[in-house]
Amino acid sequence: MTETCSAATKLWVSAFLIIIVISILTAFAYTSSNDALKDSVRQGMKSTAAVMATQINASDLAGIRPGDETSPQYTAVVRHLRTMRSLDDNIINAYILKVNPDQTATFLVDDLMIDDPAGSARIGEVSTSPDKREIFSALSAPAASKEPYTTKYGSFISAYAPIDDATDDSTGNTYAVLAIDMSANDYNTATSKGGLILITGILSMLIALGTLFIYGMKGKNGN
Amino acid sequence: MKKTSTIALITIILLILFWGTIIPAAAEDTQDVPFIPVTQPETGLPTIEPTEIPTQLPTEVPTEMPTVQPPTTEPTEMPTVTPPTEEPTITIWTTMPPIGGGKGYIDTYCNVDGASVSFDGRYECMITQGVCTVSVSPTGFIQTITVSKAGYTTWSGQLPRMPADKEHVAVYATLNPVPTQTTVPPVLKGAIYAQSSPAGAAIYMNGALQGYSPITIPNLPPGTYSMKASLSGYTPDTQLVDVYTGQTATYYPNLQQSPPPPRSTGTVSVTSTPYAALVYADGNYQGKAPLTVTLYPGTHNFRVSLPGYNDYTTSVYVTANTNQKLNAVLNTAVFGTVSISSMPGATVWMDSNNKGAIPSSGTLTLSSITSGNHVIKITASGYNDWINTVYIQPNAVTPVSATLIPSGGQPAPVSSTGGINIVSTPSGAEILIDNLFRGYTPSTLDGIKAGQHQVLLKYTGYIDYSTTATVNAGQTTPLAVGMQAAPAPTPESAPSLALVVGGIVVILGISAASRRRS
């Protein structure tokens, strides 16, 4: 009797350990996978923003002032931005920010100004994005949002890249920051691919538990 | 007698009590009432007359003017001048009550002219030429003398004693200037010290070049600054640095050596004699001489050809970042004859030019062919193409026997050739067309059979680019490719890890169960 109880106890303990171990590993794998996907998406956005930023000539931006939304100079930059943005369906906004000394960022060019003036940021409008540190960092190197955020324009995750102040003979100084937005929904969809991991973990757990109990029952019957 | 003595004793006691009460009371009044009005010209007689008696048009000028002087600093209490009602009444107040007899003087000496002298908080006079004399009643009571002036420390001391009649009591007061406080402005700025290894990196702050490391950027308001360090041959470093008031923040960029730069190139400037010969590098047409061809370092085969002249071929070792000259002097062609034997009716192509069909005799003879290598292709419906490079000997007949092999299926259409012009970002990618290496981008590849071809571009660190390009006969198909950088390796597949661990647990479970059974 004592031996039978001991075997059952061992069986339950083993099952408990299996559940614990596989659950932890599955959760770890799920989290790691999602993090890797997020990093990959953000890295891709940063690369795209960086390449787009190289195509913007700071001299085209120098004369833009508030109220110039219909000026030929402004619309030319808007079209340029729109063309680049249209190359990737995942990018839904492309715009240029001017970073002020007090670390606030104001819109300089919004690529939707021609197509949707009411839904676009005007020149000089202060950005309400919580990505202040990222925008500030983009004065030096490409940066991306850590997590999706929401403003009056929608929910996005963004990437930012410096626009050099001179296309030729660059000194490396930054004139403005180019930003691109990806829909937060698209981002979440793209980075939530861990379902297979969860299924695999659950299956592994079931197989392990099943095997354990089958052998446990055989052992009991043998006795 | 006893009764008289008693009365005398009582009288004496009453007198003592009387004087003992009156004098202290007068002294207390002196303290409480700042100024006792002088109602008559001072005669030198002591008086304990009522304290305020207006004088009707004094006929005599007082021998002693009121000691109240216009203070330079606001006195705590101004002398009260009662405005005349019906007839002018002048009330002059003096500082001390004429208590008791006589008049003493308090001489207050001070090192600062213009200082105000106060007795027990009452303004008395101003120091002039180092002294201020105030007459007081010897029976009065003054406890504290204060001397003050703006910008100086206030002196305050006890009066040693009241002066007797016609006596001067000196008080010496020394005023010291208030020490000028060296107001140290509050430090509102900070600084950033940037030092890189190796030194000399360009330091940018908020996207603006500040200088080269090591460098201190002073006078920065507290806040966060976006710093970047850039040095040729190293990957730039960026950090956000917080600056605090009165502190020097440090910025030590982590500069890592950059990966090897893209392959460098060299150039070969080709000229020809005669002029405008066609230039081929590694089999690829480059243009007409003179021209400059850009190539990667290494050995490259050049061929310069011109109709009527023998081809000029040579190998050139291209060195990075150098320019070499190549002058191809073409000799007048030496001709030869080629005799091609093949299936009658088959079409003969030489160097992509149609030379006719094999006659019924089975042999096609082509004469006046420039000596050298020529690509001969023979095609026939239902047969596989025969292609070979044939060297045609000068002044001789070169026999060529081409046996066509039936294709076994539908006869392949006879196709002509076109070209593909491929450029890529970055340049230098390997070009493989139908899995055959054809050179590096940018390049124009000619002689490609018309139709669809699989084009594959490979470049280290980038994702292979594969596409299907359609080549039209006699045309050059442009192909511009932007290659994407290969993503960083993703973590090891989690499912496999979970399965492995799960399997291990299962095995352990089985082992434990087996052991228990045994």
Smallest Cα distance from B465 to chain A, Å: 17
| Spatial contact of B210 and B228, defined as CB atoms under 8 Å apart | no
What are the beta bridge partners of residue A212? Answer: none
What is the helix, strand, coil percentage profile of chain B, to 5?
10, 45, 45
| Spatial contact of B90 and B55, defined as CB atoms under 8 Å apart | yes
| Spatial contact of B425 and A51, defined as CB atoms under 8 Å apart | no
Smallest Cα distance from A13 to chain B, Å: 10
- CB–CB of B240 and A133 under 8 A? yes
Torsion of CA B460, B464, B468, B470, to 10 degrees: -20
Picking from A62, A80, A86, A78, the residue whose alpha carbon sits closest to that of residue A114 is A78
- The backbone torsions φ and ψ at residue B11, rounded to the nearest 5 degrees and listed phi first, read -60, -45
Picking from B242, B238, B297, B303, the residue whose alpha carbon sits closest to that of residue B277 is B303
Identify which has the larger pLDDT, B18 or A170: A170
Torsion of CA B280, B285, B286, B291, to 10 degrees: 50
Output the pLDDT for position A197: 86
What are the beta bridge partners of residue B72? Answer: none
Evaluate the CA torsion angle B501, B506, B507, B508 in order and state its sign.
positive
Number of H helices, E strands in chain A: 6, 6
Reduced to 3 states, what is the DSSP secondary structure of residue B20?
A: helix
Give contacts of B208 with chain A, Cβ < 8 Å.
173-174
The number of beta carbons lying within 10 Å of the beta carbon of residue B512 is: 19
- Do the bridges between strand B104-110 and strand B168-173 make them parallel or antiparallel, or are there none, so unpaired? parallel
Torsion of CA B26, B31, B35, B39, to 10 degrees: 0
Output the pLDDT for position B46: 41
Distance CA B144, CA B173 (A): 12
- Interface list for chain B against chain A, based on CB atoms closer than 8 Å: 202, 204, 206-209, 223-224, 226-228, 230, 236, 238, 240, 485, 487-488, 490-491, 494-495, 497-499, 501-503, 505-506, 508-510, 512-514, 516-517
Distance CA B99, CA B138 (A): 8
Before B290, cis peptide (omega within 30)? Answer: yes
- CB–CB of B236 and A141 under 8 A? yes
Q: Which of B208, B226, B501 sits opposite A173 (nearest CB)?
A: B208
- The backbone torsions φ and ψ at residue B426, rounded to the nearest 5 degrees and listed phi first, read -75, 160
Assigned token pair, B14: 């009453």
| Spatial contact of B442 and B459, defined as CB atoms under 8 Å apart | no
CB-based burial label for B232 (10 Å; 0-12, 13-18, 19+): exposed
- CB–CB of A99 and B207 under 8 A? yes
Reduced to 3 states, what is the DSSP secondary structure of residue B433?
A: strand
Q: What is the pLDDT of residues B237-260, one digit of tens each?
A: 999 999 998 888 999 998 888 777
Q: What is the pLDDT of residues A67-86, one digit of tens each?
A: 888 899 999 999 999 999 88
Q: What is the pLDDT of residues B404-453, one digit of tens each?
A: 888 865 544 555 788 888 888 888 888 878 766 778 888 888 888 888 88
Torsion of CA B365, B368, B372, B374, to 10 degrees: -50
- The backbone torsions φ and ψ at residue B263, rounded to the nearest 5 degrees and listed phi first, read -60, 135
Assigned token pair, A10: 């061992």
- The backbone torsions φ and ψ at residue B459, rounded to the nearest 5 degrees and listed phi first, read -150, 135
Reduced to 3 states, what is the DSSP secondary structure of residue B116?
A: strand
Suggest the residue from B227, B425, B506 to mutate for an interface test with chain A (most A CBs closer than 10 A). Answer: B506
| Spatial contact of B112 and B152, defined as CB atoms under 8 Å apart | yes
Output the pLDDT for position B517: 58
The helix (run of H) or strand (run of E) holding residue B21 is: helix B2-32
Q: What is the CA B466 to chain-centroid distance, rounded?
A: 43
Taking chain B, what is the end-to-end CA distance rounded to the nearest angstrom?
Answer: 145
Q: What is the DSSP letter of B462?
A: B
Smallest Cα distance from A183 to chain B, Å: 22
Q: Is the pLDDT of residue A188 over 60?
A: yes
Give contacts of B254 with chain A, Cβ < 8 Å.
none
Evaluate the CA torsion angle B119, B122, B127, B133 in order and state its sign.
negative
Output the pLDDT for position B26: 40
| Spatial contact of B84 and B123, defined as CB atoms under 8 Å apart | no
Q: If DSSP states are collapsed to H, E and C, what string results for B354-383? A: EEEECCCCCEEEEEEEECEEEEEEEECCCE
| Spatial contact of B1 and B9, defined as CB atoms under 8 Å apart | no
Q: What is the DSSP letter of B162?
A: -
Residue partners of B340: CB distance under 8 A and separation at least 6 = B348, B358, B363, B364, B365, B366, B376, B378, B400, B401, B402
Give contacts of B506 with chain A, Cβ < 8 Å.
18, 207-208, 211-212
Give contacts of B505 with chain A, Cβ < 8 Å.
17-18, 21-22, 208
- In the block, tokens 């025969």 appear at B386
Give contacts of A16 with chain B, Cβ < 8 Å.
none
Output the pLDDT for position B42: 38
Q: Which of A25, A39, A174 sits opposite B501 (nearest CB)?
A: A25
Q: Is the pLDDT of residue A52 over 90?
A: yes
Output the pLDDT for position B14: 59
Distance CA B353, CA B390 (A): 15
The helix (run of H) or strand (run of E) holding residue B330 is: none
- CB–CB of A18 and B509 under 8 A? yes
How many cross-chain Cβ pairs, A to B, lie less than 8 Å apart? 134
Average pLDDT, chain A: 87
With both helix axes pointing from N to C terminus, report the angle between A2-54 and A72-85 in degrees, rounded to the nearest 10: 140
Residue B451, phi-psi category: left (phi > 0), alpha (psi -120 to 50), beta (remainder): left
Output the pLDDT for position B333: 75
Output the pLDDT for position B95: 42
All residue ranges of chain B with pLDDT < 50 are 1-2, 18, 20-99, 411-412, 489-494
What is the helix, strand, coil percentage profile of chain A, to 5?
50, 20, 30
Output the pLDDT for position A45: 94
Distance CA B516, CA B456 (A): 61
Half-sphere exposure of B464 (CA within 13 A, CB side): 10
Residue of A nearest to B518 (CA): A219
- CB–CB of A32 and B491 under 8 A? yes
- CB–CB of A99 and B206 under 8 A? yes
Output the pLDDT for position B480: 82
